[in-house]
């Protein structure tokens, strides 16, 4: 039906029902958009924190592994008093991870403890524990290896 008389009620109702967006639809769309933006922001922040934590964990594990490889390179038993039967030798060093944004200073200090323990005919068990004081919780990595006359670099 075509409206010839704009003043009639039927024409007014049809024009109003086919109008643009109602206030309810606009508020619903706005609320949905705010929820989606908040979720995206929260996910971005969480991924950034998880990425930083993973990089700190990998850096700490690399330091612990490097110390274990360093001990594997020591002469066995040689003149080193660390590899003595029926004894436990413990060494403590400091280590740092996570540079600041300028890349000039380390911001997370830590302690690297090396424990060398005799395990009979198998040789010596080397346990390297690295503990770093990260902002949220302390992070601990542990690496173990066995050093004997067949270890890398030994004759």
pLDDT tens digits for range 34-43: 999 999 999 9
* Residues 129/141, Cβ–Cβ less than 8 Å: yes
Average pLDDT over the chain, rounded to whole? 82
Does residue 122 belong to any structural domain of this protein?
yes
The answer to whether residue 126 is domain-embedded is yes
pLDDT band at 12 (very low <50, low <70, confident <90, very high): low
Residue-range definition of the domain harbouring residue 97: 60-147
Q: What's the structural domain count of the chain?
A: 1
Three-class SS state of 6: coil
Determine, yes or no, domain membership for 10.
no
**105 domain-assigned:** yes
3-class SS letters over 116-144? EEECHHHCEEEEEEEEECCCCCCEEEEEE
Q: What is the pLDDT of residue 4?
A: 60
Whether pTM exceeds 0.85: no
Please name the helix (run of DSSP H) or strand (run of DSSP E) that holds residue 114, with its range, or none. strand 106-118
């Amino acid at each position: 039906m075509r409206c010839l008389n704009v003043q009639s009620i039927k024409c007014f109702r049809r024009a109003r029902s086919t109008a643009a967006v109602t206030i309810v639809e606009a508020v619903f769309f706005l609320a949905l958009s705010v929820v989606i933006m908040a979720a995206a922001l929260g996910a971005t922040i969480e991924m950034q924190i998880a990425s930083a934590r993973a990089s700190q964990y990998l850096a700490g594990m690399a330091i612990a592994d490097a110390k274990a490889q360093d001990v594997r390179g020591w002469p066995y038993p040689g003149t080193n008093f660390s590899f003595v039967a029926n004894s436990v030798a413990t060494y403590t060093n400091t280590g740092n991870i996570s540079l600041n944004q300028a890349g000039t200073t380390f911001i997370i200090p830590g302690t690297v403890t090396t424990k060398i323990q005799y395990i009979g005919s198998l040789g010596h068990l080397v346990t390297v524990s690295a503990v770093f004081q990260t902002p949220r919780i302390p992070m601990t990595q542990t690496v173990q290896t066995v050093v004997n006359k067949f270890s890398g670099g030994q004759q």
